[in-house]
Chains A and B, each alone.
Chain A
Amino acid sequence: MNNIFGYQPGKSIIHQLSGGTKLLIFLLLTISGMLSFDVRYLILLMIIAVVGLQVAGIRWRNVSTIVKFVAVFAAMNLLLIYLFAPQYGVKLFHTQTILFGSGRYALTLEQLFYEFIVLAKYFFSLPLALIFLLTTNPSEFAAGLNKIGLSYRISYAVALTLRYIPSVQQEFVMISHAQQARGFDMSSNVPLRQRIKGVFGILMPLVFSSLSKIDEVSRSMDLRRFGKEKKRSWYYEQKFKKQDWWFLLGIVILVMIEILLIKVTGSRFWYPFS
């Protein structure tokens, strides 16, 4: 199945970075982008993220479902911000430029600008997350987590979880078919209550069969000495290479740019129209 969401092997320079580097880049860029309300900086991150998607060779069909899902979510978020805090932009930027309407729901330039910033945050963070998830081999990722200090048991548990996402998806489909054949109707032409009942009919077997699999895997791990030593080595451990250092240097520069922008502007909020 091609539409399953998960790690896709590849040969790009991003695939070749070590799991630890990618995790650091992802965390640092996401945090600095979330803290910033400076459009110039966010646009810069957006460009970097989109170029990253291109370089990593990620195809639309692999991510279309999740992108559409996030797009709907983002649109709802923007609408709700307007509904509950229609003048939040005014508060942030200390000016008010009414475009039309009046009263509480008057549309202001400041509000539009603020909502644009929120949208920009989605636009840079989603591609970053996609790049990270689709180019990082779960095993390398576990090795990376372990390298930056997390216990190897937790690191391995994370990798196993990532790995089982596709197989749980497949099993869900299988069970759902078997249950629909029994008569659990989950299509949209039955009342909601019955649909919820139908979904429970799938979840129970799914949970039980997953539990028995977990049991089996953990026994198999015990038999091969998982947890015997304080440390373990990793077959897919990637040594830090020159390119890892270059990328990390780039990230440090980006973070410094943010600090510089805040210094120059005098606050985290930059507003060009005042």
Chain B
Amino acid sequence: MTLAIKMSDVTFKYDSQSEPTLHHINLNIEQGERVLLSGPSGSGKTTLGQLLNGLIPHAYQGEITGDITINGHNIKDMSIFERSFDIGTVLQDTDTQFVGLTVAEDVAFALENDNVTHNELFSKVQQWAKIMELEELLRVAPQALSGGQKQRVAMAGVLIDDSPILLFDEPLASLDPASGHRMLALLDELQEKYHLTVIMIEHRLEDVLQHRLDRVVVLDRGVVTFDGTPDEILKTQALAQYGLAMPGYLQLLKLAGVSFDGLVNITNPAQITGPDVYDKLQILENSISRQNQTGSPTAESILTIQQLTFKYGKQSLFENIDVTLYEGELVALVGKNGSGKSTLSKLIAGFIKPTAGTMTLAGVGDLSGLPIKARADYIGYVSQNPNEMITQSIIYDEVASGLRLRGMSEEELKPRVYELLKLAGLYGMREWPITVLSYGQKKRLTIIAVLALAPKILILDEPTAGQDYANAQAIMSFVKHLNKQFNTTVMVITHDMSLMLSTTDRALVLVDGQLLADLTPASLLNDPHLVEQADLSITTVYELAQQYGLSNPAALTALIGKG
């Protein structure tokens, strides 16, 4: 049987760069195999994907040496169009990859371009809409769908080609955890039914490995550093060395001193067994229950929100929300897509006005009379996409601009700007143009540009979306550091449960305009009922605890969360 993918000694260098991005890659993938391609940012995993689907050299030019064949066809003889019959791609950002105005058109797009007859278009779209459960949504705009639905539309638009190989570029990046699991389960089903070869580029191992995978390939700086089964990579205990995060349940087992060599079903926290697992976990649990629960010191309240109501025309998004934020705390705001998280943060920042209710800031009083600019002196807002925030061309000017606009003199603002630049690790680059910064650096820049105004409260909208483990960790430890140093209250909107667990002290759960819960992150993730309502997913530690009858999964989760 011909191999699905055969790469022999492939080296690739972008024309715009002096060093190759990929070095001597040898990789064979068989028909029907399910392969996870992983590695930190800059490892070359995305470049490898683009070499396969033809975006290189179609959109990005460079020099390829070595041989690549896809389904037995040498890629040198194939255009990007021809390749798309062998390999279909689902891009990372489902929002921007939609071309059609409605779901139906987007699913039909590839076939429209093949100029197939109108009847065939209709019957094929019907067929795949049925399989992907999109029949009710055919006339809806893709942008109006939930994250999980969008992912299904994107998959239908590629599967309609009957291409035998599917390439997913970070499919979980923009999904809430529950939708991510549903998507992966659906993929398992489709893979089996249509004998697809699946190549998934993803760095969130914990979520992916619970689903059926045959192989894990890890890249680092353009070289394959690991190629083996999921069991093997988990047993190495050296995920951090590959720039990847270790799943929570394994962190706990490691902490308990369990030897990984004897573990069976290591990829599944609900079925994992081993000779010393039970005893070691009991010892660990006993040791924490002896420690007294230290209650958090009572802090001063900083923002008091009372009876907040917001209506869009006749439809009400919030009814009578009451919540208090405290000085110096780090709060996570979580909930499923479209539940009002962004609206709530825009209300707090003053971008939109509430229909009823009051917001009172300690030392300032009622906020309703303040215009956006004056409010920004107390409450800073950093939007998800740093490109939406950046207005200057030089790094120093970007941080200084808010202060300049408030009439501060250059001498006065200079020390403040320098201090912030040093904090963000950008001091040495202060005279450089912003365009040279990486995404993570831009993110830090937008955060300090807002912090320059010394707000009492900082709101971060999805600060780590689309970032790999190492980058997300770096951004969040930066935020934690700022929170400690300036005692700024930080509210983070996030989908990333491990981030919530490792950095925040408190979780607010917002679902359909209702504040469902206000509790510690660890107790949230161990409450199956709440987790389901908020479309989050239960921690793997909880599953492990269930299996071994441990009584306090929340405390165990907190144990690994704080590292």
Contact = CB atoms under 8 A, between A and B. Distances in A.
Interface of A: 2, 9, 137-139, 159-160, 163, 167, 171, 174-175, 177-185, 187, 201, 204-205, 208-209, 212-213, 216-217, 219-229, 231-237
A23 B111 CA distance: 26
B369 interface: no
A224 B117 CA distance: 17
15 contacts: A179-B389, A181-B350, A182-B405, A183-B453, A185-B405, A204-B391, A216-B96, A217-B99, A222-B58, A222-B59, A223-B88, A224-B110, A228-B114, A229-B113, A235-B125
Task: Report which residue of A184, A204, A222 has the largest number of chain B beta carbons within 10 angstroms of its beta carbon.
Answer: A222
B213 interface: no
Given A178-B388, A232-B114, A236-B105, 10 more contacts: A159-B101, A181-B372, A182-B405, A183-B453, A205-B387, A223-B54, A224-B158, A229-B114, A235-B112, A235-B118
A182 B402 contact: yes
B99 A220 contact: yes
A181 B376 contact: yes
Contacts of A2: 313
Contact of A233 (B98, B115, B346, B375): B115
A220 B516 CA distance: 39
Interface stretch (B300-308, B321-329, B377-385): B377-385
Interface in B101-125: 101-102, 104-105, 108-118, 121-122, 125
Contact of A217 (B97, B115, B157, B405): B97
B398 to A, nearest CB: 10
Given A216-B93, A220-B99, A223-B55, A233 B112 contact: yes
Nearest to B405: A183
A224 B99 contact: yes
A228 B83 CA distance: 12
Contacts, number: 154
Interface residues of B, number: 65
Given A180-B372, A235-B105, A223 B390 contact: no
Interface of B: 53-55, 58-59, 80-81, 84, 88-89, 91, 93, 96-102, 104-105, 108-118, 121-122, 125, 139, 143, 157-158, 313, 346, 349-351, 371-373, 375-376, 380-381, 383, 385, 387-391, 401-402, 405-406, 449-450, 453
B562 to A, nearest CB: 33
Contact of A225 (B98, B110, B387, B388): B110
A9 B101 CA distance: 12
A233 B116 CA distance: 6
B380 A181 contact: yes
Contact of B105 (A139, A185, A213): A139
A171 to B, nearest CB: 8
A217 B143 CA distance: 14
